[in-house]
């Protein structure tokens, strides 16, 4: 008996692109029906996907593509993986911004400042924060957009802006 390269438990439909050899006749049998079924299944799924794709020429006329200015314009489909990844990223960045605010508070407490204003110089914050993350400037911009911190200037640069005061607003 010759050795069979395919498992005997598989049917010809489960192995569509490979050949099976019959030990007795040594004939090559290719499952064309299995390949045809798989191709047809893929074709139907792809056509349905293209009907929902706003950039495809095969869109359904009843699919409403959001226009600029509408609430869902530029947003992923509800319940999609893209929407979930966006929510996860937003949570992660919000956590990092909160950690940045905590670091600013800690540095201010070490400074023994008098008064209610919590502030730190950018150079001091950069020296302390460089061991935590390499995204300090981006996080500061995000925190300013959320009105958590205030600093002068549009962008902060290491060395040039080391004496710029960053004030914690909340």
Are residues 102 and 58 both part of a single domain?
A: no
Cα 128 off chain centre by: 28
**pLDDT single digits (tens) 104-132:** 988 887 666 556 788 899 989 988 887 77
Which is more confidently placed, 100 or 78? 100
**pLDDT single digits (tens) 35-50:** 888 999 999 999 888 8
Are residues 52 and 97 both part of a single domain?
A: no
State the pLDDT at residue 92: 95
Nearest to 125 by CA among 153, 104, 155, 145: 104
In a domain, 24, yes or no: yes
In a domain, 133, yes or no: yes
Are residues 99 and 163 both part of a single domain?
A: yes
Nearest to 97 by CA among 70, 56, 136, 134: 136
Q: Which of 17-26, 69-78, 79-88 has the highest mean pLDDT?
A: 79-88
State the pLDDT at residue 27: 43
In a domain, 83, yes or no: no
Compute the 3-state secondary structure of the chain and give helix, strand, coil in percent, each to the nearest 5: 40, 10, 50
State the pLDDT at residue 28: 46
State the pLDDT at residue 115: 66
Q: Quote the pTM value.
A: 0.56
Indicate the number of domains in the chain.
Answer: 2
For residue 140, what pLDDT band results from cuts at 50, 70 and 90? very high
122-129 helix and 81-110 helix, angle to the nearest 10 degrees: 120
Which phi and psi angles does 165 have, rounded to 5°?
Answer: -85, 130
Buried b or exposed e, range 114-144, using 16+ CB within 10 angstroms = eeeebbbbbbbbbebbeeeeeebbebbbbbe
């Amino acid at each position: 008996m010759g050795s069979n390269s395919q498992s005997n438990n598989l049917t010809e439909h489960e192995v569509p692109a490979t050949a099976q050899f019959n030990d007795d006749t040594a004939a090559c049998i290719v499952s064309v029906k299995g390949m045809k079924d798989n191709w047809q299944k893929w074709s139907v799924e792809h056509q349905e996907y293209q009907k929902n794709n706003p950039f495809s020429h095969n869109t359904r006329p009843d699919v409403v593509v959001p226009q600029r200015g509408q609430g869902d314009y530029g947003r992923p489909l509800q319940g999609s993986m893209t929407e979930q990844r966006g929510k996860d990223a937003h949570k992660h960045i919000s956590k990092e911004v909160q950690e940045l605010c905590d670091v600013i508070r800690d540095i201010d407490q070490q400074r023994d400042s008098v008064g209610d204003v919590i502030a730190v110089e950018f150079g001091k914050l950069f020296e302390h924060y460089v061991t935590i993350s390499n995204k300090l400037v981006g996080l500061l911009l995000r925190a300013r957009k959320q009105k958590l911190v205030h600093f002068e200037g549009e962008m902060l640069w290491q060395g040039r802006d080391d004496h710029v005061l960053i004030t914690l607003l909340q």
